[in-house]
């Protein structure tokens, strides 16, 4: 288990360091040789996640009682960062999967924990998250999909958009309306997408994170038993927001990983590329870009580690999770553009990976709450609801 007192001071523990090293080695060995082709082909590398289980990553947030590693958010953030340094797509697959495991542990009853957590930490079952609908993204409390009681269970109807991991998931945490309008009428359900009546309707082709699966799920009169309800009726919106607090640490860590990759590539290129008889890194126009990139990387990392340490200490801060995501994603998008600029024309080609970092960075400002929504959360924590 995590040394909570050390985590609370956001020192990196030995266990966290080991998990980061395992994730880095895994990414270099299993992903790096294939990533250019997988990105080009929009390929979801399903077998990676079975292999990831062997080094404990799939159960990084799951308690040891349920077959996980129970290493906490610090280790989760480090693992996601290391994966994102090589492939931001597989980093978000793990991030969302782990976020759902944590939500089940926190919001579920003992039967739900016993049913799902060993499967999630075992790598054979990937988890997905289905909140967004075509007319309800940032305004998630406006979802229209319904869960209507039938006998002891419920009948689910509606369509969920852009469900990460959806096609390959063995369980999806999906939000449906059981009551009146607004967030208080929303309940969360744990659903196996292979249940009769659920169809994968569209696999979305994307600008970036192309090794990540994103699909729409249609629910046509899907009967689920009472054991599918996660938390109480009407508690689903709060449950989704709780899950997203942890998830935002993951997306912030994903942005840090992309930023770290941009820095590595930029330093190497600036030392090697010659212009006007010198390495381009000798020009302040280039070296100052790298100095700012490195400084924002360190600042983003500290925000992520601090948000993770507070979560591990049992005092999670939604504001800090939003600040970490807002800062890290802005920095990743900004510096991915600068990294491409440092590479000149080569950066615009697929011969160098920076064009992929540039495409991958953008999504970190959009999903799990856009940068505008993060700023609303941060501002409200200071100003209240005016
Ligand atoms: C690749 C990908 C994967 C995703 N994965 C998942 C997933 O696994 N599960 C899931 O449920 N969803 C997922 N999503 C959905 C994602 O979370 C939403 O796209 C996101 O929350 C924004 O919602 P929207 O796209 O409807 O934009 P909108 O909410 O329509 O926003 C459009 C613009 O308006 C701005 N805006 C909206 N409201 C305000 C406001 N009050 N103040 C200021 N600006 C505002 C937004 O910031 C944005 O710039 C995914 C999306 C993508 C693209």
Please determine, for residue 312, whether its predicted confidence score (pLDDT) is greater than 60: yes
pLDDT digits (tens, 9 = 90+) for 149-171: 999 999 999 999 999 999 999 99
DSSP per-residue string spanning 63-91: -GGGTS---HHHHHHHHHHHHHHH-HHHH
pLDDT 10s digits, 256-296? 999 999 999 999 999 999 999 999 999 999 999 999 999 99
**pLDDT tops 90 at residue 129:** yes
How far is Cα 24 from Cα 39, in angstroms, rounded to an integer?
A: 19
Residue 3 has pLDDT above 70, yes or no: no
Our answer on whether the CB atom of 55 is closer than 6 Å to any ligand 1 atom is no
Give 168's DSSP letter.
G
The residues, any chain, with a CB within 8 Å of residue 47's CB and separated by 6 or more, are none
The residues that bridge with 173 in the sheet, in sequence order, are 129, 190
Task: Kindly tell me if the per-residue pLDDT of 128 is higher than 70.
Answer: yes
Task: Give start and end residues of each alpha helix (H) in the chain.
Answer: 4-8, 14-26, 35-41, 46-54, 72-86, 88-107, 110-121, 236-272, 284-312, 318-342, 344-347, 354-361, 371-383
Predicted local distance difference test score (pLDDT) of residue 10: 56
- Residue 215 CB–ligand 1 contact under 6 Å: no
Q: Average pLDDT of 11-39?
A: 96
Return d(Cα 67, Cα 56) in angstroms, integer. 9
Q: pLDDT digit string (tens) for 34-89? A: 999 999 999 999 999 999 999 999 999 999 999 999 999 999 999 999 999 999 99
Count of CA atoms in the C-beta half-sphere (13 A) of 162: 14
Query: 326 CB less than 6 Å from ligand 1?
Result: no
* Cα–Cα dist 16/26, whole Å: 15
CA 38, 44, 50, 52 dihedral sign is positive
213 CB less than 6 Å from ligand 1?
no
CA 369 to chain centre: 11
Helix (H) or strand (E) holding 169: strand 169-177
Q: What is the pLDDT of residue 104?
A: 96
Q: Are strands 214-224 and 198-203 parallel, antiparallel or unpaired?
A: antiparallel
Q: Whose CA is nearest to atom 26 of ligand 1?
A: 137
Instruction: Determine whether the shortest distance from the Cβ of 370 to ligand 1 is under 6 A.
Output: yes
If you measure from the C-alpha of residue 382 to the centroid of ligand 1, how many angstroms do you get, rounded to a whole number? 23
Q: How far apart are CA 27 and CA 85, in angstroms?
A: 8
pLDDT tens per residue, range 324-356: 999 999 999 999 999 999 999 999 999 999 999
Share of the chain above pLDDT 90, in %: 95
Give pLDDT tens digits for 77-121. 999 999 999 999 999 999 999 999 999 999 999 999 999 999 999
Q: Which residue's C-alpha comes closest to atom 35 of ligand 1?
A: 372
Sign of the C-alpha dihedral computed for residues 181, 187, 193 and 198 taken in this order: negative
- Residue 227: per-residue pLDDT: 97
How confident is the model over 207-265, as pLDDT tens digits? 999 999 999 999 999 999 999 999 999 999 999 999 999 999 999 999 999 999 999 99
CA of 369 to the centre of ligand 1 (A): 6
- Answer yes or no: is the C-beta of 206 below 6 A from any ligand 1 atom: yes
Q: Judge contact between 78 and 19, C-beta under 8 A.
A: yes
Query: What is the domain partition of the chain in residue ranges?
Result: 4-126, 128-233, 238-383
Q: Is 367 in the pocket of ligand 1 (CB under 6 A)?
A: yes
Q: 238-383 has which CATH code? A: 1.20.140.10
Q: What is the pLDDT of residue 123?
A: 80
Q: Which of 30, 338, 368, 372 is catalytic?
A: 368
Q: How confident is the model at residue 9 (pLDDT cuts 50, 70, 90)?
A: very low
Angle of helix 354-361 versus helix 318-342 axis, rounded to 10: 150
Q: Whose CA is nearest to atom 13 of ligand 1?
A: 162
Of all protein residues, the one whose alpha carbon is nearest to atom 41 of ligand 1 is 373
How far from 27 is each of 24, 189, 199, 257, CA to CA, in Å? 5, 33, 32, 12
Q: Is 368 a catalytic residue?
A: yes
pLDDT at 122 exceeding the cut of 90: no
The fold of 4-126 is Butyryl-Coa Dehydrogenase, subunit A; domain 1 (1.10.540)
- Are 191 and 254 in contact by the 8 Å Cβ rule? The answer is no
CA dist., res. 316 & res. 324, Å (int) = 13
Calculate the alpha carbon distances from 296 to 255, 285, 325 in Å. 11, 17, 13
What is the H or E stretch that residue 190 is in?
strand 186-191
User: Tell me, what's the pLDDT at 124?
Assistant: 86
Model pLDDT, residue 42:
97
Distance 164 CA to ligand 1 centre (A): 13
**Cβ(208)–Cβ(88) below 8 Å:** yes
Pick the CATH number of 128-233 from 3.10.350.10, 1.10.1040.10, 3.40.50.300, 2.40.110.10: 2.40.110.10
For residue 1, what pLDDT is reported?
A: 40
Q: Are 217 and 166 in contact (CB under 8 A)?
A: yes
Instruction: Answer yes or no: is pLDDT of 6 > 50.
Output: no
Q: What is the Å distance from ligand 1's center to 203 Cα?
A: 17
For residue 365, the CA-to-ligand 1 centroid distance in Å is 9
């Amino acid at each position: 288990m995590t040394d909570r007192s050390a985590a609370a001071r956001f020192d990196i523990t030995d266990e966290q360091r080991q998990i980061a090293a395992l994730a880095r080695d895994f990414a270099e060995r299993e992903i790096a040789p294939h990533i250019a082709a997988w990105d080009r082909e929009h390929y979801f590398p399903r077998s990676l996640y079975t292999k990831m289980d062997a080094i404990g990553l799939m159960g990084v947030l799951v308690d040891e009682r349920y077959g996980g590693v129970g290493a906490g958010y610090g280790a989760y953030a480090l693992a996601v960062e290391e994966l994102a340094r090589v492939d931001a797509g597989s980093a978000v697959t793990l991030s969302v999967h782990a976020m759902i495991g944590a939500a089940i542990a926190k919001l579920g009853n003992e039967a739900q924990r016993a049913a799902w957590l060993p499967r999630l930490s075992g790598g054979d079952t990937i988890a997905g998250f289905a909140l967004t609908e075509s007319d309800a993204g940032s305004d998630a409390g406006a979802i229209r999909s319904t869960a209507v009681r039938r006998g002891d269970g419920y009948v689910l109807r509606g369509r969920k958009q852009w469900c990460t991991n959806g096609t390959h998931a063995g369980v999806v945490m999906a939000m449906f309306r059981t009551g009146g309008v607004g967030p208080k009428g929303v309940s969360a359900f744990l659903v196996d997408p292979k249940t009769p009546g659920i169809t994968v309707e569209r696999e979305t082709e994307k600008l970036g994170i192309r090794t990540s699966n994103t699909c729409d799920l249609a629910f046509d009169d899907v009967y689920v038993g009472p054991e599918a309800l996660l938390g109480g009726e009407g508690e689903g919106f709060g449950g989704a927001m709780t899950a997203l607090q942890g998830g935002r640490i993951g997306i912030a860590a994903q942005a840090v990983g992309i930023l770290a990759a941009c820095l590595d590539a930029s330093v190497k290129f600036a030392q090697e590329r010659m212009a006007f008889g010198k390495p381009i890194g000798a020009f302040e126009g280039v070296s100052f870009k790298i100095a700012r990139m490195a400084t924002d990387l360190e600042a983003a990392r500290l925000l992520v580690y601090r948000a993770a340490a507070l979560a591990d200490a049992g005092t999670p801060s939604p504001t800090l999770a939003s600040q970490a995501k807002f800062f890290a994603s802005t920095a990743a998008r900004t510096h991915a553009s600068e990294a491409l600029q440092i590479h000149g024309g080569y950066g615009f080609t697929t011969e160098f990976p920076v064009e992929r970092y540039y495409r991958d960075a953008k999504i970190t400002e959009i999903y799990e709450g856009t940068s505008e929504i993060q700023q609303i959360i941060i501002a409200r924590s200071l100003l209240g609801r005016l």
